[in-house]
Chain A
Amino acid sequence: MKLTQISVFLENRKGRLYDVCSLLGKTGINIRALTIAETETFGVLRIVVDKSDLAIQTLRKNNFVANLTDVVAIEVGDKPGGLAEILKVFADNDVNVEYMYGFVEKFSDNALLVFRFEDTDNATKILADKGVKVVTRKEIEGL
């Protein structure tokens, strides 16, 4: 099951990250997972939220440059070697990971990780075949 990630372009200006977070907070949107890819002069904020449609509308209405990307969130056993198990599935099946990052909070004993794959459809198929538990949209919304 695919989830929607929102990427927001952040120019190198003080308080810009705060602007995004407070805007979403005021709108009643919860950020589930977050990472920032930064360069010298600008950054790209990536978030997974509970209400992605509302979030992207709100951001664009407030003149943020934002775009949607498909990602997959996976439950990883919160124990030694938990992540390695998953990565082995990918390696064995030639699934390329572009980047990954963790959830802000846990909602079970397992850790939650967001993955961006080169080929999302293929990756979700393989995950389903291998019985890897992925997080559904419903779960994200009701977390």
Chain B
Amino acid sequence: MDVPFWNKEIETADRSRLEAIQLERLRETVGWALKTPFYQKQLRQAKISSADDIRSLADLRKIPFTTKDDLRLNFPRGLLAVDMKDVVRIHSSSGTTGIPTVIYYSKEDIDNWTDMLARCLFSTGVTSRDVFQNMMTYGMFTGGLGMHYGAERVGMAVIPMGGGNTKRQIKTMKDFGTTAIHVTPSYLLHIHTKLEEAEVKREDLVLKKAFTGAEPHSEDIRKKIERIWNIDAYNSYGLSELNGPGVAFECVYKNDMHLWEDGYIVEIIDPDTGEPVRDGDSGEVVLTNLIRRATPMLRYRTRDLAYLHTDPCPCGRTHRRLSRIMGRTDDMLIINGINLFPSQIEEVVMRIPEVATNYIIQVEKRGDLDHLTVKVEIYPKLFLGDPSQLEALKGRITEELRSAIILHPTVELHEPNSLPVSEGKAKRVIDLRPKE
């Protein structure tokens, strides 16, 4: 296989070289961080008062973690490390709680980030001959502009479509001969169902590659995308706290994502203890940004669960590969040894029209085993007064859950608005198992 490199020297640098770069940049980043009120406090706790207190990469572990809440509490300027005259871009996210977070970028920060993205895109084999349609939302979300800049740097012809307007997306792909797109996996699946409506045939399109991101998805979804579209789909990982897209990206081998270790230090920790897991084990991804001056980020707890591959990739890159995101630390359940995310259950019950929007996942001990019960509220308009209809519905939900999550749950049907709701936000998981 032809393996293209954007920066071969760095992408194939041996570990000692990578670690030397990391140490140098970590010291620099700590220096920047000490200019912010938030990190002054954090680093003082760790008895770090200057970059000189970081003597080896092991010293990283002296630094306390940074959490999303820290960013919220220090909104809007608590993590700003440069004068506003040196800021050229602001990205922000509103988040579900309503308190926003903000990230500032200097000119050099944007340049570094863009270069990482060019590296990502180039590693999949795109070149300046490609036509790139960016279907991610622009605006404050990093997925739009970030990838736009990276694609331009590769020299692709960039079509800044943004999200939505499916028919127009399809027509645009046809009109301009789009060969590569940046898109969420669910939207890419959706577009396929609209081809006919847009009166465009697959053969009218020259699409070859999709870069999927912004939502965790399974290998099955990738395979489905590749099959129905007959394209190559590459997984990507990023978050605005760590610049945005381009933290990790799949190369031509598509066997999980090279995480650029000259730009980011990755740790995988046990989310309960904060201690590192064994090599290759899964845990929470913690990232330190080494290439952003305006908003430094040290040991950021992403709450994403994943693992690092320990075997090398045939492409020759030395940067380790991050697995697909398996879920979020805030919501994972372990039931009879099987990892389960409420989102997996949500996915199943939400595609059944007879189910209303509320559901509860309950776990309890029955003997030695964990037992899972999924309670759903029925949708009143679809109740026909017939118990056999409801029995059939229950059977259908049970079967669909069983095939999606391996576990065999008990399904209970409930009346609308009967399941407990707390503080306006539905409480989804009730774990009745005794705590050890």
Contacts and interface: CB of A to CB of B under 8 A. Distances in A.
A7 B385 contact: yes
A110 B418 CA distance: 42
Interface stretch (B37-45, B188-196, B289-297, B376-384): B376-384
Interface string A55-99: 000001001111111000000000000000000000000000000
Interface in A6-20: 7, 9-13
Nearest to B380: A65
A9 B390 contact: yes
Interface residues of A, number: 23
Interface in A38-70: 38-39, 41-44, 46, 60, 63-69
Contacts of B391: 39
A9 B415 contact: yes
Contact of A44 (B386, B412, B414): B386
B387 interface: yes
A12 B412 contact: yes
B413 A42 contact: yes
A11 B387 contact: no
B385 A11 contact: no
Q: Which of B387, B412, B417 has the most CB of A within 10 A?
A: B387
A13 B418 CA distance: 10
A44 B394 CA distance: 14
A25 to B, nearest CB: 20
Chain A interface main SS type = strand
Contacts, number: 53
A37 interface: yes
Given A7-B385, A44-B385, A46-B385, A63 B390 contact: no
A12 B380 CA distance: 17
Contacts of A66: 383
A118 B54 CA distance: 81
A41 B383 CA distance: 16
B416 interface: yes
Q: Which of B385, B412, B418 has the most CB of A within 10 A?
A: B385
Contacts of A69: 385
B427 to A, nearest CB: 18
B390 A39 contact: yes
Contacts of B386: 7, 44
A38 to B, nearest CB: 8
A63 B387 contact: no
Q: Which of A64, A66, A67, A68 has the most CB of B within 10 A?
A: A67
Given A11-B418, A39-B391, A44-B390, A67 B413 contact: no
Nearest to B413: A42
Contacts of B390: 9, 39, 42, 44
A38 B390 CA distance: 11
A80 B378 CA distance: 44
B144 to A, nearest CB: 43
B387 A44 contact: yes
A71 to B, nearest CB: 10
A12 B387 CA distance: 13
Given A9-B413, A10-B415, A68-B385, 15 more contacts: A7-B384, A9-B415, A11-B412, A37-B387, A41-B412, A41-B413, A42-B390, A43-B387, A44-B385, A44-B387, A44-B390, A65-B378, A65-B380, A67-B385, A69-B385
User: Which 10 residue pairs are nearest across A and B when measured between Cβ atoms?
Assistant: A7-B385, A67-B385, A37-B387, A44-B387, A65-B380, A11-B414, A65-B383, A69-B385, A11-B415, A42-B413
Interface of B: 378, 380, 383-387, 390-391, 394, 412-418
10 contacts: A10-B415, A11-B414, A37-B387, A41-B412, A42-B413, A63-B416, A65-B383, A67-B384, A67-B385, A68-B385
